[in-house]
Amino acid sequence: MKRLIPLTSVLVLALCASSPALAQNGNGNGHGKGHGAGNPVQQDRDDDGDDDRREGRRNGNGRENRAERDVPRNHRSAEVRVREIVGDPPREGERAVRELRRGLERGESVVGREVIGPRRDEVRALLQGCPPGLAKKDNGCLPPGQARKIDRSQSYDRYNYLWRSFGGDGGYQYRDGYLYRTAPDGGLLGYLPVLGGILSTGNVWPTQYTYQQPPQYYSRYYGLNDRYQYRYSDGVLYGVDPKTQAIAQVAALLTGQQIDVGQRMPAGYDVYNIPYDYRDQYVDSADRHYRYSDGYVYQVDPTTRLVQAVIQLLT
Amino acid sequence: MHNRNAWAIAPLMALSLAACSGEADKSADGAPPAPTNQTLAEVIADKGEMDTLEGVIRNAGLSDVLAGKGPYTVFAPADAALGAAGSDLSDEAMKAQGAALLRAHIVPGALTRADILAALERGGTGGVQMRTMADGLLTFSRDGDAVTVTAADGATARLTGDETVAANGVVQPVDGLLVKAE
C-alpha cells in the first residue's frame, strides 16, 4: 500500500545531488484564506515558514556521499523543492535513489501539486455588473450621465482583437481601464481589470479582483521589495502598497502555469530556454530535458514528457 | 626577434579585426552571441530601429519588467513591423492595448536562435512551440534558411537581423506582429 512521507533533509540532499528528477516541490501554498470579495482562488501569503520546510536542506554532517560527489559543484547552488514521495522510508540516500527511480519509472513515486498561481480561467472569471463608479447603460458601463465618448471608443475598438485569445463566445471591448465581455447579441456579460488599464502603477487595486499571494520563493528569485505586498493575477506579479492599496510596481510577467512533478509538461516548452547563468548546470541529454518557466527549472523526460522535478533557482 | 613576435601575432590581429567587422555579436559557427551586460530594456532602447517598440514598452509600464530578473525572450518587431499600431499604442490612452500586444511577444526563458534550430532539428517538420505571456502558443518552423514564427491566430513573422543575448534574456528581432489584426 502506498504511503505519503516527507523526505528528510539528508535524503533531499542526496536526491538533489544525484538526480533532480527525484525531488519536487512541497505541499504548495493552497491553504490560504480568502482575500477581497471572497473569490475562492485568493490566498494569503505563505509567511509561516512552510515554504522553507519544503525546500531541500544541505546535509550538515560534513560528510559527502557519492551522490554529492557526482554532481557539479555549481549544481549545488540550486535548491530542489521537495514535497512528498510514495514509498517506504529510505534508510540511506543511495537506496532511496534506487527506489525512487524505480517508482518514477512506474510513474507513481511522486505526488503533489506546485501552486504558482490560479488558473487563467479562474482569474478570468468575469466580475458581474459594472466597475465601481460606472453605471450600466446601452449594453456597456459608463459614468452616470456621461455620454459615450465616440472618438475614444472607436480608437479603442480597433485593437479589441488583442484580447481575442481570452476566448469564449461574443467579444471583448476595452474601455477606460476595464475589459468588457459582451454576448453575441451585444449584452454585457461582465468585466475584468487588465494590465495597463486599471491595473497600472498608481491605481488602487480593484477590491473585487482575484489575486493570489505568490510563493515566498519569488521574493528571493525576483528580488521583491519588502515594502510592498505582492499579488499575482492573470500572469502578472504586482507590488501593492499595503497602506494605500495602490499598485506600486509591475514586478514580473509569468505564464502562471501550474506544472507539477508527475504530470505531462504542457504544450509550449519544446525549445531549450534555460537562463544563461544556469546552462552549465542544466544541460539537455538523451534521458532528461530542462525547461524554464516562471522562476523554476523543470526536468522533463524527453520520451514521456513527464515532469520529473521542479527546481528552484537561487540568486 | 621583435619583428618575429610582431608577425606571430598578425593572424590573431586579423581574427580580431574580422570579429569587429559588423558581425561582432554573432559567432562564426552559428553559436549564440555572448551575453551583454545590458538588460532587455536597455538593449531595445539602444536599437535605433526599435524606438517605437521602446515607446510601447514604456507606455505600457513594462520597462521595469524588462529591466528586472526575467529571463524573457522578446520577439521584437522593428518600427516598420509595428506599423500604425506602434504610434497608436504609444498613446497614454492605449496602455492596456500595448501591454496586451507585448505579452503576446514575450516567452519565458532565454531562447537563442541556435536553441530554436536545435529544437526544430529534434522536432521534425511539424514545428516546435513556446508559450507566451499572453497564454498563447507560438509555433516555430523552417522556411528555407529562415525561421518563421506563427501565432495561434495565424499571425506570422520571420526571425530577422541579429539576436542579442541580454543579461536577463534574449531580444529576437522579428519582421512582423505576432497578433493578427482583424
**Cβ contact, residue pair A158, B88, below 8 Å:** yes
- Decide if A272 and B119 are in contact by the 8 Å CB cutoff: yes
| Separation between Cα atoms, residue A248 and residue B76, nearest integer Å | 26
**Minimal Cα distance from B137: which residue of A?**
A268
Q: Tell me if A268 and B104 make a contact (CB, 8 A cut-off).
A: no
Query: Is the sign of the CA dihedral A44, A50, A52, A55 positive or negative?
Result: negative
* pLDDT the model gives residue A166: 81
Give Cα B94 distance to the centre of its chain: 24
- Residue scoring higher pLDDT (A134 or B36): B36
C-beta atoms of B35 and A276 within 8 A: yes
Backbone φ and ψ for B158, nearest 5 degrees, come out as -115, 145
Residue of chain B minimizing CA distance to A251: B65
ipTM over 0.95: no
* Count of alpha carbons within 13 angstroms of residue B119, beta-carbon side: 25
pLDDT at A187: 80
State residue A176's pLDDT score. 86
Of B60, B64, B108, the CB nearest to A196: B60
Which residue out of A159, A198, A280 would a mutagenesis test of the B interface target, given it has the greatest number of B Cβ atoms within 10 Å? Answer: A159
Q: Which of A41-55, B26-40, B62-76 has the lowest mean pLDDT?
A: A41-55
**Which pLDDT does position A75 carry in this prediction?**
37
From chain A, pick out residues whose CB is under 8 angstroms from the CB of B109: 273-275, 291-293
The residue assigned the cell 593572424 is B11
CB < 8 Å to A293, chain B? 108-109, 131
Count of A-B CB contacts under 8 Å: 152
Span B153-182, pLDDT tens digits? 999 999 999 999 999 999 999 999 999 987
Q: How many CB atoms lie within 10 A of CB A90?
A: 21
Chain A residues inside the 8 Å CB shell of B64: 249-251
* Closest chain A residue by Cα to residue B169: A275
Please indicate if any CB of chain A lies within 8 Å of the CB of B75: no
B141 phi and psi, to 5 degrees? -150, 165
Q: Are B39 and B167 in contact (CB under 8 A)?
A: yes
- CB-based contact A269 B130, cutoff 8 Å: yes
pLDDT of residue B109: 98
Give the gap in angstroms from C-alpha A250 to the nearest C-alpha of chain B. Answer: 7
Q: Which of B64, B108, B130 sits opposite A250 (nearest CB)?
A: B64
**H helices of chain A, where?**
9-18, 50-54, 66-70, 93-106, 120-123, 150-157, 217-221
Task: Determine, for residues A291 and B116 on separate chains, whether the beta-carbon distance falls below 8 Å.
Answer: no
Q: A270 and B123 in contact by Cβ < 8 A?
A: yes
CB contact under 8 A, A271 and B153: no
- The DSSP result for B118-165, as a single string, is HHHHHHGGG-EEEE-TTS-EEEEEEETTEEEEEETTS-EEEB-S--EE
Cβ burial of A44 (10 Å; 0-12, 13-18, 19+) is middle
Cβ neighbors of B22 (< 8 A, separation 6 or more) are none
Q: Determine the residue of chain A that is closest to B98 in CA distance.
A: A196
In order of start, what are the domains of chain B with their CATH numbers? 35-174 (2.30.180.10)
Confirm or reject contact between B108 and chain A (CB < 8 A). yes
Chosen for mutation from B64, B135, B137, B165 (greatest number of chain A CBs closer than 10 Å) is B135
Domain boundaries, chain A: 4-116+257-312, 126-197
Tens-digit pLDDT profile for chain A (315 aa)? Answer: 333 333 333 333 333 333 333 333 333 333 333 343 333 334 333 333 333 323 333 333 333 333 333 333 343 334 444 333 333 333 333 443 444 444 444 433 233 334 455 566 666 667 778 887 777 776 677 766 554 554 455 566 889 899 888 876 668 889 889 998 888 877 888 889 999 999 999 999 998 888 888 988 999 999 999 999 999 999 999 999 999 999 999 999 999 888 989 999 999 999 999 999 999 999 999 999 999 999 999 999 999 999 999 999 875
Partner-chain contact A292 B109, CB within 8 Å: yes
Are B135 and A271 inside 8 Å of each other by CB?
no
Measured between CB atoms, which of B69, B100, B132 is closest to A162? Answer: B100
Predicted confidence band of residue B22 (pLDDT cuts 50, 70, 90): very low
Task: Check residue A138 and give its pLDDT.
Answer: 66
pLDDT exceeds cutoff 90 at B58: yes
